[in-house]
Amino acid sequence: MALIQWYPGHISKAERQLKEQIKKVDVVLEVRDARIPLASHHPQVKEWIGEKPRILILNREDMITDALRDEWRTWFRSRGEIPYFTNAKDGGGVKAIQKASQSAGIAVNERRYSRGMLPRPVRAVVIGFPNVGKSALINRLLKRKIVASARKAGVTRQLQWVRISEEIELLDAPGIIPLKLENQEDALKLAICEDIGDAAYNNQEVAQAFVDLLVNLGTESVLHSRYGLDPLDMTGEEFILRLAQSKYNNDLERVARQILQDFRKGYLGAVSLEYPPNN
Q: Which residues bind ligand GTP (CB under 6 A)?
A: 59-60, 62-63, 87-89, 130-136, 149-151, 153-156, 174-175, 266
3-state SS of the chain: helix, strand, coil percent to 5?
Answer: 45, 15, 45
Extract long-range pairs of 43-47: CB within 8 Å, 24+ residues apart: 43/178, 44/178, 45/127
- For the CB of residue 155, give the shortest distance to Mg ion in the complex, in Å: 5
What minimum distance in Å lies between the beta carbon of 134 and Mg ion? Answer: 5
Contact call for residue 131 and Mg ion (CB under 5 A): no
Sheet holding 168-172, edge to edge: 83-86, 54-59, 27-33, 122-128, 168-172, 160-163
Q: Nearer Cβ to Mg ion, position 59 or 258?
A: 59
Burial (0-12, 13-18, 19+ Cβ within 10 Å), 129: buried
Minimum distance from residue 265 beta carbon to ligand GTP (Å): 8
Is 135 an interacting residue with respect to Mg ion (CB under 5 A)?
A: yes
Q: How near is the Cβ of 115 to ligand GTP at its closest, in Å? A: 35
Which of Mg ion, ligand GTP, none has residue 132 at its interface (CB below 5 to 8 Å by kind)? ligand GTP
Output the smallest distance, CB 227 to Mg ion, in A.
32
State the binding partner of 63 from ligand GTP, Mg ion, none, CB within 5 to 8 A by kind: ligand GTP
Q: Count the site residues for Mg ion by CB under 5 A.
A: 4
DSSP 49-68: HTTS-EEEEEE-GGGS-HHH
Say if CB 167 and CB 71 are below 8 A apart: no
Q: Is 139 in the site for Mg ion (CB under 5 A)?
A: no
Question: Which of the listed partners (ligand GTP, Mg ion, none) does 222 bind, with a CB threshold of 5 to 8 Å by partner kind?
Answer: none
Stretch that binds Mg ion, among 28-36, 48-56, 98-106, 156-164 (CB under 5 A): 156-164
211 binds, among ligand GTP, Mg ion, none (CB under 5 to 8 A by kind): none
State the nearest-atom distance from the C-beta of 150 to Mg ion, in Å. Answer: 8
Output 38 or 162, the one with its CB closest to Mg ion.
Answer: 162
The number of residues in the chain equals 279
* 27 or 240: CB nearest ligand GTP: 27
Q: Who's near 109: CB < 8 A, 6+ residues apart? A: 119, 120, 122
Kindly give the interhelix angle for 203-217 and 236-247, rounded to the nearest 10 degrees.
110
Q: How far apart are CA 29 and CA 162, in angstroms?
A: 14
**Run of H or E including 260:** helix 252-264
DSSP code, position 278: -
Interface residues with Mg ion (CB under 5 A) are 134-135, 155-156
